[in-house]
């Protein structure tokens, strides 16, 4: 498995496991994580908010036996805490971040984090205070590197200019190609993109028809449901293996750090790894032809 290196030297497997869809039963989650390791995946993405901390608990306890392996990298996220009514409350304050990291370390069973990311945020946040929290955690050796997860150009721009982020996590796939517009700036700052939603909840898999009906019945972004179906059919004429196509599209960008693909079953994981391997065989001509058949999406909000 190819590795992509962050500025701090942390190596991420080019295909990472998005742990959000593992569920809360460790008996179901463990085989998926174990299989990911067998398949050469060494980067695992979680967040304190996933299943109210249970996801970090599960990831931590399954990966505990690999703690001697320096190549296994876990990234988690902070910024939302659960209010008493169970709803997430946004809090990017330094006091909160520096307290919350202790909970993530405990649940993951670690004494430091490889990668800590701000889980969202707006331009109205106390941005310099938030950045200072991450800088301090780095200086204190509690985190090795930090990043943000955002789809807001104004927020991303601020962090690129005023912080030491090493990663930007954003939804990114052949259909949701909005991040393309950010990539020159991201790459210039030697920041790596963590592409979440690479198979677009199953739309870019062999299960595309079902995913289209179940998850995109209202359409998405500039696409109506019908347009999305037609576009999927049209790119399938070029390459039937939609997952390999979207993985090839993502790896064609120099700024890519890792493709964070989720899986709720071992079979899905196996299929995703196989399609990642096959993606290397897709020609540039096919990629260009497929890219020409999808819309050029742009971020329309949070620009300033």
Ligand X SMILES: NC(=O)c1ccc[n+]([C@@H]2O[C@H](COP(=O)([O-])OP(=O)(O)OC[C@H]3O[C@@H](n4cnc5c(N)ncnc54)[C@H](OP(=O)(O)O)[C@@H]3O)[C@@H](O)[C@H]2O)c1
Q: Quick one: which of 272, 273, 279, 282 contacts ligand X (CB under 6 A)?
A: 272
Residue nearest to ligand X (CB): 18
Find how far residue 86's CA is from the centre of its chain: 24
Q: Quick one: which of 4, 241, 251, 268 contacts ligand X (CB under 6 A)?
A: 268
Q: Quick one: which of 43, 116, 200, 276 contacts ligand X (CB under 6 A)?
A: 200
222: DSSP letter = T
Q: Which of 61, 55, 27, 59 is nearest to 41 (CA)?
A: 59
Q: Quick one: which of 137, 175, 261, 294 contacts ligand X (CB under 6 A)?
A: 261
Q: Are 259 and 250 in contact (CB under 8 A)?
A: yes
Contacts with ligand X, 204-223, as mask; x by CB under 6 A? -x-x----------------
Interaction of residue 18 with ligand X, rule CB under 6 A = yes
Q: Are 258 and 195 in contact (CB under 8 A)?
A: yes
- Check the CA dihedral 184-188-190-191 and report its sign: negative
Q: Annotated catalytic sites, by residue?
A: 50
| Binding piece for ligand X, criterion CB under 6 A, among 5-13, 133-141, 226-234, 268-276 | 268-276
| Binding piece for ligand X, criterion CB under 6 A, among 91-99, 140-148, 192-200, 234-242 | 192-200
Cα distance between residue 272 and residue 23, in whole Å: 18
Interaction of residue 61 with ligand X, rule CB under 6 A = no
Cα dist. 145→10, 114, 125, 126, 191 in Å? Answer: 8, 6, 21, 20, 11
Find how far residue 36's CA is from the centre of its chain: 16
Binding site for ligand X (CB under 6 A): 18-21, 45, 77, 119, 149, 169, 196-202, 205, 207, 260-264, 268, 271-272
């Amino acid at each position: 498995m190819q590795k992509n290196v962050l500025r701090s030297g942390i190596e991420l497997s080019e295909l990472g496991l998005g742990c959000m869809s593992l569920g809360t039963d460790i008996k179901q989650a463990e085989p998926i994580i174990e299989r990911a390791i067998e398949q050469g995946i060494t980067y695992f993405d979680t967040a304190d908010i996933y299943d109210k901390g249970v996801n970090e608990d599960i990831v931590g306890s399954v990966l505990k036996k690999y703690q001697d392996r320096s190549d296994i990298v876990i990234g988690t996220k902070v910024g939302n805490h659960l209010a008493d009514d169970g709803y997430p409350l946004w809090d990017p304050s330094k006091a909160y971040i520096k307290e919350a990291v202790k909970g993530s370390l405990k649940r993951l069973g670690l004494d430091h984090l490889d990668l800590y990311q701000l889980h969202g945020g707006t331009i109205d946040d106390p941005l310099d205070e938030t950045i200072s929290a991450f800088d301090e955690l780095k200086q204190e050796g509690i985190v090795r590197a930090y990043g943000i997860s955002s789809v807001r150009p104004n927020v991303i721009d601020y962090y690129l200019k005023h912080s030491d982020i090493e990663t930007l996590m954003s939804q990114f796939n052949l259909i949701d190609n909005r991040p393309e517009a950010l990539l020159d700036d991201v790459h210039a700052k030697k920041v790596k993109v963590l592409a979440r939603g690479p198979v677009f909840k199953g739309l870019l898999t062999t299960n595309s028809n079902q995913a289209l009906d179940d998850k995109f019945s209202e359409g998405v972004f500039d696409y109506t449901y019908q347009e999305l179906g037609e576009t999927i059919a049209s790119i399938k004429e070029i390459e039937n293996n939609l997952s390999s196509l979207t993985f090839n599209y993502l790896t064609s960008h120099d700024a890519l750090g890792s493709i964070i693909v989720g899986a709720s079953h071992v079979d899905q994981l196996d299929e995703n790894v196989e399609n990642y391997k096959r993606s290397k065989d897709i020609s540039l001509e096919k990629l260009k032809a497929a890219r020409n058949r999808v819309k050029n999406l742009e971020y329309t909000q949070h620009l300033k």
